[in-house]
Every structure is written in C-alpha cells, then in structure tokens.
Amino acid sequence: MTVTVGHDSQNTRKTLSAGGASVAYYSIPAAEAAGLGDFSRLPAALKVVLENMLRFEDGKTVTVDDIKAFAEWAQKGGKNPREIAYRPARVLMQDFTGVPAVVDLAAMRDGIVALGGDAQKINPLNPVDLVIDHSVMIDEFGNPRAFQMNVDREYERNIERYTFLKWGQKAFNNFRVVPPGTGICHQVNLEYLAQTVWTDTDQNGEEVAYPDTLVGTDSHTTMVNGLAVLGWGVGGIEAEAAMLGQPISMLIPEVVGFKLTGEMVEGTTATDLVLKVVQMLRQHGVVGKFVEFYGEGLDHLPLADRATIANMAPEYGATCGFFPIDGETLRYLEQSGRDTDRIALVEAYAKAQGLWRDADYAPVYSSTLELDMGTIVPAISGPKRPQDYLPLTKAAGAFYNVVCDYRGVDAENGAANMASEGDTLTAPADCRKTGAVEGEDYQLRDGSVVIASITSCTNTSNPYVMIGAGLVARKARELGLTRKPWVKTSLAPGSQVVSEYLEAAGLQEDLDAIGFNLVGYGCTTCIGNSGPLQPEISKSIHDNDLVAASVLSGNRNFEGRISPDVRANFLASPPLVVAYALAGDMNIDLSSEPLGTGKDGQPVYLKDIWPSTKEIADLVHKTVTREAFQSKYADVFKGDEKWQAVETTDSETYDWPAASTYVQNPPYFQGMSQEPGKITDLKGARVLALLGDMVTTDHISPAGSFKDSTPAGRYLTERQVAPKDFNSYGSRRGNHEVMMRGTFANIRIKNEMLDGVEGGYTKGPDGTQTSIFDAAMAYQDAGTPLVVVGGIEYGAGSSRDWAAKGTALLGVKAVIAESFERIHRSNLVGMGVIPFEFTGGDTRKSLGLTGEEEISIAGLEGDLKPQATVPCTIKYADGSEKVIELKCRIDTAVELEYVENGGVLHYVLRNLAKAS
C-alpha cells in the first residue's frame, strides 16, 4: 500500500527511531517551530486531525491556513468551525452496510465504462476490511447444537451475498473480507486490525508513520477510539467516496472534555458507567462534536471499559468518544498480541507528537463535564432509548409506569401496586394483563422477559463483564436456579477469543447449564436478528396484547428493532442479562426481591450470586492471554470449510444475476450524463410522512424481519420466495427493490398524518390510507415531488445509508426537521436529498401541519451558499398560505457540488471518468 502525501511546504517532516527502525513522520512541534501557531493545548483527538492536515498539505485541498486554523481553535476557546478536507487511513465495513457499498462499486464500474472510462479506475485507494457479522440469526438456542445449526442456516440464507462478496474480494484491490463466524467488526478491529499508529510507504518509497484513523459503515466504529484510534461511522455512500480517494469534507469540530475521577465501586460494571455517560452527554448536547475523556479516573479504567464507553458514542450523539494514548493503551496492545516493535513505535510517536496522556495532560476544551465513577450504581436503560437511564432500584417501578402509559391508565404509585410474589405470576394489579400459553403450565404477563441475550460489540469485547456473567451463571447453577421457561436465552460473543477465555475459565459449561449456549459470532439480537420466539409464546403475546420485554447487553433498544413480539427493550450488563433470565420478569425488583427459589427451598437474591470485583479480576488475569489472541487471529481471513467452498468468478465487472433477490444492479448511474445538473427550487411538493421526535434510522430503514403482507414481502412472494426464506431487510440491502419497499416501514413508526396508526402507512394522492411505498410510486407517476417532515434528532441511531438511499428512491427531494443527527444528514446530502431545519421556533406542531399541505422552497437556484436561510411557502388545505424561513443544511461547498451532481458517488464517478 502506498500513501500519497503532500509537498510539506513548511518542512514539518522529521525522522523518528523506535522498535529498531527509523520512520518519517509529520511533526506537530515542527509546525509550531515553523510559526504556524501554538498547538500545545489542543486535545489529542484534534491533534490527530491536525497531523492529517500536515501530511496532506498541498496548497489546494489542504492549505497552510487550514493548519493555522487549529491554533486559532485553541485561542478561541475550542471553537473554529472551518471547513477542512480530512483523509482517514482506512475503511471498515460489515456485511449489512458493506454489501450495498460493494454493489455501488460494481455499479460504478458499469457506469464508468458507459461514460467511456476505465473500469479499473474504480478501486479502493485506501485499505478496506469487510467483516461478515450481521447475518447470523438465532433460530436455534439453549442447546449444544445451536451454534452449528445457526451457521448452517446462515449460509443457506446468504449464499448469494457471500458469493458476491467473494467476487468483490477478487475484483477490487485493497479489499479484504473477514469470513462469517469470526466475530463482530468492531471487536475484530479493536483486537486485531487497529494499530494505533499506522505505517506505509509514501510515493517516494519512504516509510511514514502516522495515526491509525478510519471511517466505518457502522455507527459503532467509534469503539476503537478506546484504543486511541480516531474513527467514526459514516454511511456507505461517504465511505465509498473515502475509499475512492475523496477527502471527507468536515468542519473542525468542538471537543467536549469529559473528566472522569474516582474509581468504580464493588458491584458495578462498565455497562453501568456507560449508561450514565450516555444520559449525561445526551443532556449536554454533543451532536456533531468530538468527546474526549480525560482525568485521573482513567488511571483506574481498563481499556476494555474505555472501549465500552467509546462504542456508545452514537447513543450519546457524538461523532466519537476518544481516549488518549497512555500506559494502558500499550498494555492492551501487548496483551492482544500486537507486534512488540509496533508497540514501541506507538509509545515513541505519541510522546514525540504530544499525544501521550500523563498527569499534566490539560488541553483546552470547548466545554467540559465531570463524573466521579465512585457514584455509579447498577443500572439498565429502556424501554426504547439508550439514554432512558434507570438505576436498578427503580427499574421495576418504572416498567409498571410504562405499562400503564401503554394502556392509557394513570400509574399513580406503580411500584406499590405490583403483584409479584417470587416465582409466581399472580393476577396483575390495575392495568396489567396476563395470558395463558398453549400447552404450558405457566402464564405470561406484561413485563415477562421473553428474550435475554448476551450480544453486541459493546459488552462482549469486555472480559470483565463477560467473566462476570459466567460467574453469575456458575453461582446460580450451584444454588439450583435456571432460566425461566419462557425466556429465549443466547450468547453471541464478539470474537472467538471470548469463547477461548470462557472455556479456559470453565465458565462456558455454567452458562450452557442455564441456557446461555453459544449461538454464533455476530451482532444477533442487537441488530434485530433475535430469531423467532416459540410460536405459542408469540401467540400469547399478540392474542393478549401483552407488553413483553427483552434484556440485552447491546447498545440499541429502539422501537421495533429487537423483535416484532417485544415492545419494551432494556440494555444491561451481561451479568444482569443472566439475572433477568433467571427472574424472567421486569416487574421483579432485582435489587431487593428474590430471583427465584434455590434447590434448598430458600429464596435466592441477586447479592447471593453476584461475584466480587476481585473474583472477576483474578479470572481475567488468569485466562485472557496474549497467546489466545495470537492463535485465534492467526488465519483470520481464511475462514472455515464452508467459506472456502464458496465459488465465484474472476470478472472485472459483475455479471448481475437477473433472478437474484439479494443482489441487483441499482438505478443510480443508469443514463447518467457526463455533466452535473443544477439545484432547482422545490415547487408544489406533497408530504409523504409527518413524523415526531427522534425518528431513528431504524424507523426509516428497519433491519429486521418482515411479513408477506408488506410491500417487500409481496415483492419476494411474487418471485416465488417463501416467507420462511425472507431473511431480513438488512440481509437484502443489495437489492434496491426490497429496500425501497422497506423504507419508512418499521412496525412501530407513527405517521402523524394518520390517527393512531403504527407502521409504514400514509395517505396517497387520493387521500386514502395506503403503504408509504405505494403512495410514493403514485406520486412519482404523477410527477409530484415529495418531502418528509420531522422533529428533533431526526435520523438518530445507526449509520445505515439505506435510510437515505430509500428516501431518495421514493422521490423525496427534501427532509424538513427541527434538528438532524450527524451521519444521517450527511447521508441525505450524499444521495442528493436536501436537509432543511426549521428556524425561529417553528415546528410542525406550531405551524399546524397535518400532511395535507403543499410545500414550496425557493432560494435554491443560482448562488446558494452552505447553511443558507431560504424561504418556504406552506399552502394549507384551505388555500391559505404562510411563508417561513428554513436553514439549508448543505453544510459545505463540497456538499453543494455533491447535490448538484445528484449525490457524492455521481460526483466521484464523473471526476474519475474525466480523469481516465
């Protein structure tokens, strides 16, 4: 791999010796000596971006003034939103978002050939790693054959996709695929791919060292910031542009300093800490900002805990949550099997560049928060947002209030009204319902935990909470407890290393004994691949309209994400997931009520089975070894026999199989002209959907299962695909026909144009209720442009590009909201859809919008400036009109060019075609 650097007009290129070798690097102190400014008090996260400017300074894309802007940032108290061109070192993908990205690259090869260019111009210029981790579903659970049966079913369902990805691995340069069954992309990145300091040869053949940086097509790419690797999630569209050499246009961000003091107390976990951090940062407001963690508390925070906090940056809304390099960084690199020379280079480089955190580390921040870790208590989060923080002592009472709210009943004192007695499910107090389960001697009720899943990169990367979960299982087993029979239990580690140390500690046997058998290595429940519940349990939930619950050790609990049978989803540490499986009921107060009755007839409480901090630490020290990491990652790209047996072709362009329902040639570049168009005013647009606050990308483009009665289901049925073979929306992202039909199709989305209706419905041109897809097609046939209207934090959650792609393909020209989450705003621009924000306190409610209006937006033609304010005329159903001002959230000059071209990929494709 060759990295093309700038011309170093300021002589900042120096030499560093470490690990028995000498390398060139671009020195921040040398930039200071050259008179470019004082960078000494920049946060480490921002120094990483500054180094990027030094290395790529060419007088055009990156200028000396861009470099000086970082010194001005510190002088201005942490604010200087100058537009810069940033180039990450590499790209990380997973298969849900990676398949459509590779589909786009394949389509771009067709497109450049059609424009008279060279297909080989479409190749990643930066290294790309794609980890297949999102496709395994939990069909089988709670028995020794679960893992193998789920793997077999995964290959049966996804062979078309895997064949396509293997073709991509052969066809494209700088593109590697980590096969199924290896682990979750972020955990593989943390444990193996990431280096903290990267090295490559430049165009002159010299070895250059620079910070390891990346973007990823998954929002939780941020996890690797725990290892001082600057990375964040982008949509597949933006990632494709980055891998094709297009710099990422961004504003120099604000950096919020989060000071950690004290240390964690007995009985608490990193999960408890991160749930509190999420709550605090959401309240503070960090969308579009970096967060950097500092303070003496880091001296007591293992890297696994740091990675847990960094992982959930999308949940607190930040671009990333960064931890500077220190001794703990080096310890983890050594433990996880990194090369000793690389570790020496990391230390030397960090100290030479001012990236090293020591006792005197005190940078300038845009704003600060502080948390004493000694105040953290056991907690969960739910029922539908990660920031819905609940101390464990308040969880049961809060859940009762959730049920009352769902039933439209005044809860009053919910906790006092609960009617649970140990293991016995009694008649519900007040508004709670129960339901018999056919063929079983137990009943379900509101609050029955039907899914308990140890899953996700967030916690399965952390040996302290995983060993803790195993010890809870061991103690419960010894006392004679097991999971309740209605709970679907699962264990899906983020890497094979986890299984290695659980086996070494003898804890997998204990987990198996209470139902937490290995089900696969992947995201599983966290991404919505929880698999079906037992039919009789599902039937009881729906027949009796029960508010069933799930508890998972993941990072997302949005509505409709985890399971179509579950309304309330709670995030918890792996040990608490085990505890809730034992209790089987959210109405039980785990802090004071028994989980069940032991084999001696005595009640068993959480405190009876909770391991001490020392017990956990001793086992971690004994079983989590350098040798385990090295052995499990020795042949990481080889895969098992199933992967090796996948056959594909060696063609330069892809031979699109006409009958495939997984991979289809998308329409983006068909009939594309060589010259871009112009941005035009929007006239007479109709409202496709009128949505509320925090509409997530899960609402816009769900990843989970769907029924044959949906537009996507009908499409597949018409092509002789049986419902049992539908798989999921996420697995079908290589087929635009399925994904268009799945846009705005989440079963819990609420379109305010309709009264109390859940699901992907709207009013068509004739005013009658219909599916959003069918309405959009009818409007397209009539030549009518569309808009979507939303509230605050529109597009929160996952980075999925299909939330923007689907929006664009439905004919939506603009999205008007009170505020946008960072990634989705960028994705909309990348697909040529213009985001607008209300101004002056206007909202959909204050304007009295019903969805019957016509929307016209002027001021877009001619000399439109980034972030301009433009007039919008609302024509109401009664013929009256109102003019308001909207802020156009095309944020940079480069983004303007993207929209003029119809999207970022069109922009890149035209430029590559001209160059070839």
Is 674 contained in some domain? no
User: Is the same domain home to 136 and 44?
Assistant: no
Q: What is the mean pLDDT of residues 24-48?
A: 97
In whole angstroms, what is the distance from residue 754 CA to residue 157 CA? 36
Percentage with pLDDT > 90 across the chain: 78
Q: Cα–Cα distance between 590 and 588 in angstroms, integer?
A: 6
Residues 6+ apart with CB under 8 A from 35: none
**CATH code of 472's domain:** 3.30.499.10
CATH value at residue 845:
3.20.19.10
Structural domain includes residue 738: no
Structural domain contains residue 884? yes
Task: Examine the domain organization and report whether 416 and 508 are in the same domain.
Answer: yes
Q: Are residues 312 and 179 in the same domain?
A: yes
Q: What percent of the chain has pLDDT over 70?
A: 98
Q: Is the pLDDT of residue 680 over 50?
A: yes
Please tell me the predicted confidence (pLDDT) of residue 421.
36
Which two structure tokens, joined as six digits, stand for 440? Answer: 């079983």
Is 74 in the same domain as 104?
no
Domain check: are 73 and 96 in the same one? no
How many angstroms separate the CA atoms of 124 and 654, rounded?
16
Residue 411 has a pLDDT of 65
- DSSP run (H or E) holding 162: helix 146-171
- 689 shares its domain with 815: yes
798 has a pLDDT exceeding 80: no
Report which of 804, 848, 473 is spatially closest to residue 690, judged by C-alpha positions. 848
* Mean pLDDT for all residues in the chain: 92
pLDDT tens track for 285-343 = 998 999 999 999 999 999 999 999 999 999 999 999 999 999 999 999 999 999 999 99
Q: Angle, nearest 10°, between helix axes 613-623 and 496-504?
A: 110
Asked whether residue 404 falls in the same domain as residue 539, the answer is yes
Tens of pLDDT, residues 169-187? 999 999 999 999 999 999 9
Residues 60 and 146 in one domain: no
Based on the fold, state whether residues 444 and 516 are members of the same structural domain: yes
pLDDT at residue 417 in the model: 39
Q: Is 668 contained in some domain?
A: no
320 and 442 housed in the same domain = no
Q: Is the pLDDT of residue 137 over 90?
A: no
How far from the centroid of its chain's Cα atoms is residue 190's Cα?
15
Structure tokens at 725: 């073979």
Digit-coded pLDDT (tens) for 397-432: 889 888 888 888 876 543 333 333 333 334 344 578
The reported pLDDT for the residue numbered 418 is: 38
Do the beta carbons of residue 447 and residue 585 sit within 8 Å?
Answer: yes
E runs forming strands in 330-445: 367-372, 379-381, 389-391, 420-421, 424-425, 434-436, 443-445
Domain that holds residue 20: 2-86
Q: Which residues in 402-433 are b (16+ Cβ under 10 Å) and which e?
A: bbbeeeeeebeebbebbebeebebeebebbbe
Q: Is 195 a member of any domain?
A: yes
SS3 content of the chain, % helix, strand, coil (to 5): 40, 20, 45
Same domain, yes or no, for 234 and 356?
A: yes
Q: pLDDT-derived band of residue 801, with 50, 70 and 90 as boundaries? A: confident
Indicate whether 366 belongs to any domain. Answer: yes
d(CA 808, CA 832): 7
**Listed residues 86, 117, 149: the one ending a domain:** 86
Provide φ and ψ at 899, rounded to 5°: -65, -40
Q: For residue 34, count CB atoms less than 10 angstroms from its CB and return exposed for 0-12, middle for 13-18, buried for 19 or more.
A: middle
Count of domains in the chain?
Answer: 4
Q: Are residues 209 and 247 in the same domain?
A: yes
CA distance 669 to 570: 42
Domain boundary among 53, 86, 119: 86
Q: Which of 44, 70, 86 is the last residue of a domain?
A: 86
What is the predicted pLDDT for the residue at 20? 86
Query: For 196-225, how does the pLDDT look when each residue is reduced to its tens digit (9 = 90+)?
Result: 999 999 988 999 999 999 999 888 999 999
**Bridging pattern class, strands 207-211 and 197-202:** antiparallel
Quote the pLDDT of residue 557: 83
Kindly state whether residue 399 falls inside one of the protein's structural domains: yes
* pTM value > 0.95: no
DSSP string, 799-863: --THHHHHHHHTTEEEEEES-B-HHHHHHHHHTTPEEEEE-TT--TTTTT--S--EEEE-S-SSS
Q: How far apart are CA 835 and CA 704, in angstroms?
A: 26
| Residue 327 to residue 361: CA distance in whole angstroms | 14
Q: What is the model's pLDDT at position 1? A: 64
> What pLDDT digit, counting tens, does each position of 568-584 carry?
999 999 999 999 999 99
Q: What is the pLDDT of residues 692-744, one digit of tens each?
A: 998 999 999 998 889 999 999 999 999 999 998 998 898 899 999 999 999 99
Phi, psi of 829 (to 5 degrees): -60, -40
Supply the DSSP symbol for 183.
B
Task: Please state the rounded mean pLDDT for residues 32-59.
Answer: 97
The answer to whether position 330 is within a domain reads yes
